[in-house]
A and B are shown apart, each in its own frame.
Chain A
Amino acid sequence: MKIFLRTTTGQGITFEGQLDTADLPEELADRMEKILRPRRLSTVAKAPMPHAMVDMQQYELTLLPKSSRSKPKKFQFSDAGAGEDLVELMDELTHEITLQKVRALSGG
């Protein structure tokens, strides 16, 4: 499973990158496969943001196709209505993107 994730924190900082379950720890990869289902993401993307919520973290998540005959599926959602398991996964995936950049900068 490959994804492209762009996380915009509630302070306006953006993290973005591509992640492949093949490169991630097994436990995290398993959770990605389990949680990032198109039907669930569609439902979360429709959740309205409570009016008074500000500085909320937001996500643009694209499920990249396994073959060139399929199309990528893009979802936009926020922490509002995402559920605890999904927001925790988003935190970890965002952190993986940061670690990717750190490794790239250090030549690792």
Chain B
Amino acid sequence: MKIQSFEDLKAIASQYSRGLYAPDGIKVNIGMASCGIAAQAKATYDRALESFPGNNGVMICQTGCIGFCEEEPLVEIFEHGKNRLLYRKITADKVIEAIEGYRSGDFPKKWILGQMRDPRSVLDDDLANPLKGVTPLSGIPVLEDIPFYKHQVKIAMRNCGYIDPDRIEEYFARKGYMAFLAALKEMKPAEIIDVIKRSGLRGRGGGGFPTGIKWDTCAKHHGDRFIICNADEGDPGAYMDRSILEGDPHSVLEGMLIAARAIGSHQGYIYVRNEYPLAVKRLVTAIKQAKSYGLLGEDIAGTGFAFDIKISTGAGAFVCGESTALMSSLEGKVGRPRAKYVHTVAKGFRESPSNLNNVETYANVPPILLKGADWYDGMGTAHSKGTKVFSLVGKIKNTGLVEVPMGISLRDIVFTIGGGVLKKKKFKAVQTGGPSGGCIPEQFLDLPVDYQKLTEVGSIMGSGGMIVMDENTCMVDVARYFVEFLKEESCGQCNPCREGLEQMHDILSRICLGQGQLEDLSRLEELGIMMQRFSLCGLGTSAPNPVLTTILYFRNEYESHIRDHKCSAGVCKPLFHYEIQADVCTGCQVCFRKCPQEAISGQKKKPHTIDQDKCIKCGICYDECKFDAVTIR
């Protein structure tokens, strides 16, 4: 059927709402985004489906990213009138027992992360809490109160983990496309732009440009306008966009439709990086389903408005995340940026006015329209409104995706939500903003996270990647790593970037090999300033950031590498070796057995030693020793 009105939408929504919140029979939601699948959730799903085919009493369903990736495979089990439980690390061998246990009232505490208090989304104001009246189980924490979820407010990720991304009807059931219909039938384009402006929404891809102003400017330029979604997400360590696309693709489609209506466009493109095949698959299904309901294509909802979306894939080029390079790639060309004397909102794709926004930015648009600009503006800080999704990764206990209001402190993110550093090691830095960002040390942990504050300490918000580093991360190696990455990804057009990165890489590699000179630090600083001032595009101008911030905050590590030929983090192989402390070693022989080079010798219960000639410094003994007897010298 083609949706023509709010009533049509509401009719389908109410049909599917029951299945979402109060299913008859047991519903098993298995997290099947890329993280889940990487953790073998497909095997869990297949096993469950094998035992419970069809819909007789137990429904096996897939859902998107539930957020707590460290605990994947995540499985949610619930039934009308009973507790809604989130189970952790449910591999194929455990899933049947978990389901049978739920059925018979057996709830193994070790397997359960928590019980949900309220499954409604931020948009479900008119619905009563379906879990009201359900007696909580004793001994099982409330999911919304555990540190990982406590501070989170899900707006962009409002449906991830709650719906099956391959069923548009479930998106309808959580107020999906209501905002778009309102934009289409009840609002003028200028009004829509005004709401987005007043909400304070800023680009979530890293630039942080005010979205409302971008839309307004684009709308004022004449020509065939294009709505483009940047799903290139090249920052290593960031996967927020992937999760939104895999878990709730319609939130992006709806955001693009609203933008199209506001700006005046009939054609949209989603540029997805090639490394995200599942995201492409889910988008293809979503577009097909939206078309079948008449929400994409010609004469949408009988208003005469037409909009179509085409998917284009990248082919492995970080620089194609830059707006002009992306548009060039969309045209089937090489992804080389151009200088932005003329902005892409004036002349972009096919030399026409183009509005480019990030996935997360579009995902925020429908809630802003439904709940109003003041609601969004009420969250966050003076200059950064709303929420931001971060990927919390690296040397942290609770890895995963978190969506928090702007203004929360780094300390809260790393130590409360993140649970602190892995294996009780010492925190060293948190890297934000990907290769364009910087490393923030311990002294700034109480910084509120927003666009301005992060820039003040030399980093940037970026797309949201937050990589935690500990005492075993060498900051010189981190700088070298980023420069190497950017050197390979540089398009090569302009001298400052192409030559600057080459020289920086040479210098940093020498330092990591123990061939550094003290003048190297001022050379790096000089190169950095040159690149910041004179590079053609953002890749070049922000490339020095990781180097300059590490020199600023971790100068002692650089000096130690250069002057003392030491890498105290135990990363740069020519600059350290492992030694077993005789007075700590218990002779348990774990290292002896695990050493791939048979470089460790010793008798049971007697101190062991490492043969430095055989040792390849793979680090296995250091990681495996339970007594911290292996030290870095």
Q: Do A and B bind each other?
A: no
Contacts from B to A (Cβ < 8 Å):
none
Contacts from A to B (Cβ < 8 Å):
none
